[in-house]
């Protein structure tokens, strides 16, 4: 049966196309084609543009997305595509409740800023004033550090995974995870020195809000934010077993179909907000009008500066940047099978776009920007990079395996098919002597010792990550070399012990019965594991003494080898 959904914009009925399940997000070229097929200069054209952008989800047998568009406080479009419940044959509509993912962070930031406006909390407060369980680190972690991902705190989802219980394998609750975060003796880096995205800071902010307000986080945000702004459909997943009328189930593509992929934990504030696209449009309009007060909103959009003075794009629960030359204030979100994006464009008549999807991998960010393209085809396109033709043989001396100096992942730079590549990405030479690897700019250099080759990748914020040469070829350890790593490794910080052993000629590691990971050698004493780097260190006699894990959100986590 085709599904009919009322379009807020036109009052006409949108009929599902009955498309076969498509398990990949719409490619960028098709998104561009969908957005520019007809400039959305009228209500009907905007509806048609949205129908093209979300065409792959306009079906009775796929999950899908809800979308809302407003300008200057006037709702232009609220529409649903696909199914909120495949088993129950319930379609997504503008009133369908979906989960926020990390878009929720701006609401947590707003709760903190309301307390700042009340004179209860200060952004430069030592977080230990409210969270005395935190250890004393090299310098105080402030409330601002927690709000801007510059605290250096390790990501809690990495920590529970290293305990042997990744998210989705058992229920995690606030008290347990709070205790885990505050038991960490060191941070990823000196407080305030870098930006590394971590949900841990926002989880701690939930407790801070509760202690400072003397209310539950849910009650405080309901009475000070949701109710005053008319956000009647918004609440928090503090009890994932609660039945929520109208909530969309979340899904993961599997083979030719889908399976449920719901967030089964009670961790909120970093995410875990149940809401609708309509409520998000109200929220963006409240930010535009500074309904909660200028002090609250202006602080939320003030970008953070690192200790070295570098200004990053992240503010307080919001990313402040540009899209096609116009200011964009936004945040993306992803939790289990939910994918979301909320953005506003002050220079485009206070344009706001909210996209919420209930399928893992849905391109909510791309869908949003495709609608911007449809509404504003006149916006300038990014200038093409100033690439030049270069003799690829000049790069041969830089071939090899490189290790980044932060989270210790390994990348390969080599010639494939006559083209130099970083991993699978071709390198394009630029006129200034640097190279492009996809969208990242990189430079080759020799380290100060005159022997070590390095590459330096520059981030969009202007920060840079250095990778150092480790080997010309991948390491092929012998059976004897692998056997040297066998043993038990323990971390008291997370109360976990891993067993490392050789199975069928391959090194494996296991934190508990039923969970075994295979390790793939990269360079000497280092391995790849899904989602992270693993490496071992030795004492002066060459004996293996520790196992380390590294990822973008937890840089160097150490397990000491047991006797």
Domain end (from 375, 409, 426): 375
Residue 409 lies in a domain: yes
pLDDT per residue as tens digits for the range 210-255: 999 999 999 999 999 999 999 999 999 999 999 999 999 999 999 9
DSSP string, 17-44: --PPP--SPPPHHHHHHHHHSS---SHH
- In the predicted model, is pLDDT for residue 30 greater than 60? no
Q: What is the pLDDT of residue 460?
A: 78
Q: For residue 533, report the phi and psi dihedrals to the nearest 5 degrees.
A: -100, 145
Integer Cα distance of 530 and 518 in angstroms: 9
DSSP 150-169: -S-PPPHHHHHHHTT--TTS
Q: Which residues form the domain of 405?
A: 392-471
pLDDT value at 33 more than 70: no
Q: With contact defined as beta carbons under 8 Å apart, do 125 and 350 qualify?
A: no
Shared-domain flag, residues 246 and 155: yes
* pLDDT mean over 439-447: 90
Residue ending a domain, among 420, 448, 471, is 471
Which backbone phi and psi does 466 adopt, to 5 degrees?
-95, 135
Task: Report the distance separating Cα 2 and Cα 91, nearest Å.
Answer: 10
Q: What is the pTM of this model?
A: 0.90
Q: What is the arithmetic mean of pLDDT over 349-365? A: 97
pLDDT in tens, 525-561: 999 998 899 999 999 999 999 999 999 999 999 999 9
Residue-level pLDDT at 25: 42
Has residue 69 got a pLDDT over 50? yes
Distances 409 to 189, 415, 435, 532 between C-alpha atoms, Å? 16, 20, 20, 7
Q: Could you tell me if 59 and 19 are in contact, meaning their C-beta atoms sit under 8 angstroms apart? A: yes
Domains: count for the chain: 3
Q: Is residue 34 part of a domain?
A: no
Distance (Å, rounded) from C-alpha 60 to C-alpha 302?
Answer: 43
Which of 437, 471, 505 is at the close of a domain?
A: 471
The CA-atom distances, in angstroms, between 544 and each of 301, 482, 556 are: 48, 11, 17
Residue 519 confidence (pLDDT): 97
For residue 31, name the pLDDT band (cuts at 50, 70, 90).
low
pLDDT over 70 (residue 375):
yes
Cα angle 405, 410, 416 (rounded to 5 degrees) comes to 130
- Does pLDDT of 325 surpass 70? yes
Confidence tier at 39 by pLDDT (50, 70, 90): low
| Torsion 501-506-509-510 (CA) sign | negative
CATH of the domain at 538: 2.40.128.50
Shared domain check, 265 and 327: yes
161 in a structural domain: yes
* Res. 129: pLDDT tops 50: yes
Judge if 459 and 525 occupy the same domain: no
Of 225, 208, 226, the closest CA to residue 216 belongs to: 208
Quick check: 19 pLDDT over 70?
A: no
Residues 207 and 314 in one domain: yes
Count of all residues that appear for the chain in the document? 563
């Amino acid at each position: 049966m085709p599904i009919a959904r009322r379009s807020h914009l036109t009052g006409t009925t949108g009929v599902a196309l009955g498309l076969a399940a498509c398990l990949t997000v719409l490619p960028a070229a098709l998104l561009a084609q969908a957005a520019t097929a007809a400039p959305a200069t009228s209500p009907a054209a905007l509806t048609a543009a949205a129908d093209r952008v979300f065409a792959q989800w306009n079906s009775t047998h796929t999950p899908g997305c809800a979308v809302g568009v407003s300008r200057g406080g006037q709702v232009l479009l609220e529409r649903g595509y696909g199914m909120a419940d495949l088993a129950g044959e319930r379609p997504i509509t503008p009133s369908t409740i979906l989960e926020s993912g990390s878009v929720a962070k701006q609401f947590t930031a707003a709760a903190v800023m309301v307390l700042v406006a009340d004179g209860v909390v200060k952004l430069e407060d030592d977080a230990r004033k409210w969270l005395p369980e935190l250890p004393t680190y090299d310098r105080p972690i402030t409330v601002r550090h927690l709000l801007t991902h510059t605290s250096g705190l390790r990501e809690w989802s990495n920590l529970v995974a290293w305990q042997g219980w990744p998210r989705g394998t058992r229920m995690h609750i606030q008290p347990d995870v709070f205790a885990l975060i505050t038991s960490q003796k060191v941070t990823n880096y000196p407080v305030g020195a870098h930006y590394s995205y971590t949900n841990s800071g926002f989880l701690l902010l939930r407790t801070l809000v509760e202690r400072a307000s003397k209310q539950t986080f849910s009650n405080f945000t309901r009475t000070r934010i949701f109710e005053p702004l008319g956000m009647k459909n918004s609440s928090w997943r503090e009890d994932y077993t609660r039945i929520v009328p109208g909530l969309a189930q979340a899904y993961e593509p599997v083979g030719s179909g889908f399976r449920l992929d719901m967030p089964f934990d009670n961790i909120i504030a970093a995410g875990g907000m149940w809401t609708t696209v309509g409520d998000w449009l109200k929220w963006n309009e409240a930010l535009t009008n500074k309904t909660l007060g200028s002090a609250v909103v202006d602080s939320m959009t003030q970008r953070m500066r690192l200790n070295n003075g570098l200004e990053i794009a992240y503010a307080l629960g919001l990313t402040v940047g540009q899209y096609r030359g116009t200011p964009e204030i936004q945040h993306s979100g992803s939790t289990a099978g939910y994918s979301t994006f909320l953005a506003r464009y002050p220079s485009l008549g206070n344009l706001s776009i909210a996209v919420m999807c209930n399928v893992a991998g849905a391109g909510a960010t791309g869908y949003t920007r495709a609608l911007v393209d449809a509404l504003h085809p006149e916006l300038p396109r990014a200038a093409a990079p100033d690439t030049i033709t270069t003799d690829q043989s000049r790069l041969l001396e830089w071939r090899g395996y490189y290790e980044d100096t932060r989270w210790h992942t390994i990348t390969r730079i080599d010639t494939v098919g006559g083209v130099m590549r970083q991993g699978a990405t071709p390198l394009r030479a630029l006129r200034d002597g640097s190279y492009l690897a996809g969208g990242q700019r990189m430079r080759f250099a020799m380290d100060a010792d005159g022997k070590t080759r390095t590459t330096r990748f520059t981030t969009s914020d202007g920060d840079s990550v250095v990778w150092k040469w480790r080997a010309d070829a991948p390491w092929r350890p012998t059976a004897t070399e692998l056997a040297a790593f066998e043993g038990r490794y323990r971390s008291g910080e997370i109360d976990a012990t891993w067993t490392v052993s050789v199975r069928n000629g391959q090194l494996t590691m296991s934190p508990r019965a039923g969970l075994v990971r295979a390790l793939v050698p990269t360079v000497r004493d280092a391995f790849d594991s899904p989602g992270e780097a693993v490496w071992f260190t030795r004492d002066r006699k060459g004996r293996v003494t520790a196992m380390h894990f590294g990822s973008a959100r937890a840089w160097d986590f150490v397990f000491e080898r047991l006797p």
